[in-house]
Structure 1
Amino acid sequence: MNHHVTVGVDGTPQSLSAARWAAREATLRQAPLRIVHAEDWSSATLIPQFDPGTRDRWADEVLASATDELRHAYPRLEISTRRLSGRPSTALAAEAEGAGLLVLGSRGLGSVVGFVVGSVSLSTLTATETPVVLVRAEEDRENAAPTPYREIVVGVDIHQACDRVLAFAFEEASRRDCTLRAVHGWKLPPASGYSPVLDPSVAREVDHTVAQMLDDMLMPWRLKFPDVRLEEKTFIGSAGRELVQATTGADLVIVGRRIRRSPMGTHLGPIAHAVLHHTAAPVTVLAHD
């Protein structure tokens, strides 16, 4: 049986959007869906200082409400629920260990497209090696039918092995029968002594080499997934900024983060950070060596 998909809910619009996204993903994977609630997610503004019994009833209602909606929309989907105790990020990371995917909601920035990545979401996705998806709250989509999939965008670093990221990207594109766009940004090192702005021929030459390296990296996956419609794009400039621009209209964005085991802890890296905070589409973050 496929690993289940886990989604965290706390009664907010963004967590309900995450639950809808997770249910559709679980259906695609033919996998069960587990809806979980971490006790301390909600802020004091949402839940005043209620007694334990009231908080328990509220948590049960949050799980029941999400479950009822998803069972109505996906009657054949196997759904279970679980309440988690302890520090939310720790509890969610532990819960993710047995899942194929962990889905969390992130609040949009209003008129500014992007995410507010809260401390719980940030701590959770850096504490687990399970793929984590952050989903924005949908606008006026509660009763809307799902739209056909169009495109997945994956950021590729041609200088590092990223097989886990590419495997996930190709598998998701194959499930959705949609286009996969692989993008890579590059810059000449300052020590090279060349400026592509001043010498376009240097930029063209380097871009041709980079494009060939990207194509070589993708070739084994192109052969393994011949059904996937693959597009490749290289560009010069800030990888984070250009990748964000490339994600306009995408259904899903996939980025990797390096696993760094050190006393200083883990962090996302500038590219994943930029994409998480400035991309409208759901974003999957995959840990890799």
Structure 2
Amino acid sequence: MLRPVVVGLDGSPESLAAAEWAAGEALRRGLPLRLVHAWVGLSSETSQLPELQTPRYWARRILRGAMDQLNERHPQVYLSAEQVARPAVDALVEAAAESELLVLGSRAFSGFGGYMAGSVALSTVARATRPVVLVRADRTPEDEHLPDAAGLPSERAPYRDVVAGVDVSHPCEEVLAFAFESAAVRNAPLRVVHTWHVPFAAPAAAATMTATAQRAAERALAEELRPWREKFPNVQVRTLVENGRPAQRLLQCAQDAGLLVVGRKVRPARLGTHTGPVTHAAMHHVRCPVAVVPHI
């Protein structure tokens, strides 16, 4: 059975942009699309409270409106929708576990409002066991593509690069699998970025240490990519390996990307939910859609 692409809806512009992106991704991957709206107030235990009737009406309209819009724009996509009477994070994490990927709306670091804009999105990303893609409200389908011959946004132009940030000192198979698959379904180039850092050293030794570390990092990345290049021979791959600050360099590389793919190390429950500094920076500051892929 095919795993669906799942999108969380709350009626905000961010979540509607996420639904549009999710429909396009479902079409690219040949998967069904499932819309989920979660709210505790949907519970039948409080069904007779008159103060909940208006919110319930708007909850139904959120799904109906999104379904009508997506059916009109993407009639080829098999679409379903569900209202869940549970806290949003719990419902989304559970939906993600049964999905190919989960798509959520996201605002910039300073944004407020809409349950996908802040704590719910962050908590869902930190707990999900499947990839989660965060989409900004101002993203359009044309933004994933290069400008056309006239310099105008166009869905008929080639896709922008998929950019993946990897750390070869830790397992990154899941991140590379998602990045290569995303590039393949778009027929887009893939840029793989690995940034390393040499501790402070005396000037006399710094140049030698830097050159040695650079060669080692390049060899390690080449070995990590070898099986994926063989599995996806049609994906054009470029690599960037350099000394520097990982978060800063990755944000720079993602400025003209169509999709950024980063990893999140799965931690034992007793250690709490964390995303790591590089992924945290990407989630808050990158303008293109950001895919956060959990890995061991």
Shorter-normalised TM-score: what interval? 0.7 to 0.9
**Residue 46 of structure 1 corresponds to which residue in structure 2?**
none
User: In 2, Cα distance between the equivalents of 1:4 and 1:97?
Assistant: 11
User: In 2, Cα distance between the equivalents of 1:106 and 1:3?
Assistant: 23
Task: Choose from 253, 258, 266 the match for 2:265.
Answer: 258
Moved over 4 A (4+): 139-142
How many positions carry a matched residue from both structures? Answer: 274
CA contact (8 A) 1:90 1:127 kept: no
Task: Give the aligned residue type for 1:55.
Answer: P
Q: How does 1:48-67 map to 2 (within 5 A)?
A: 51-67=51-67
Q: Would you tell me which structure has more helix in proportion to its own residues?
A: 2
1:283 aligns to 2:290 (yes or no)? yes
TM-score by length of 1: 0.88
Q: Unpaired segments of 5 or more residues in structure 2?
A: 42-48, 143-152
RMSD between superposed Cα atoms in Å? 2.4
Tell me how far 1:2 sits from its aligned partner.
Answer: 2.5
Tell me how far 1:40 sits from its aligned partner.
Answer: 5.9
Query: Which digits, 9 at most, give the CA deviation of each residue in 1:209-246, with x for residues without a partner?
Result: 21121111111111111000000001211111111111
Query: Which digits, 9 at most, give the CA deviation of each residue in 1:70-102, with x for residues without a partner?
Result: 100111211111011221101111111111110
Tell me how far 1:205 sits from its aligned partner.
Answer: 3.3
CA contact (8 A) 1:158 1:217 kept: yes
Task: Give the aligned residue type for 2:241.
Answer: T
Task: Give the aligned residue type for 1:25.
Answer: E
User: In 1, Cα distance between the equivalents of 2:63 and 2:254?
Assistant: 32
Q: Unpaired segments of 5 or more residues in structure 1?
A: 42-48
Task: Give the aligned residue type for 1:208.
Answer: R
CA contact (8 A) 1:255 1:284 kept: yes
CA contact (8 A) 2:6 2:34 kept: yes
Tell me how far 1:199 sits from its aligned partner.
Answer: 4.1
CA contact (8 A) 1:117 1:277 kept: no
Provide the secondary structure at the position in 2 that maps to 1:7: strand
Provide the secondary structure at the position in 2 that maps to 1:247: helix
CA contact (8 A) 1:117 1:276 kept: no
Tell me how far 1:24 sits from its aligned partner.
Answer: 0.1
Q: How does 1:1-289 map to 2 (within 5 A)?
A: 1-39=1-39, 51-108=51-108, 118-138=118-138, 146=155, 148-190=158-200, 193-194=201-202, 199-289=206-296
Q: Would you tell me which structure has more strand in proportion to its own residues?
A: 1
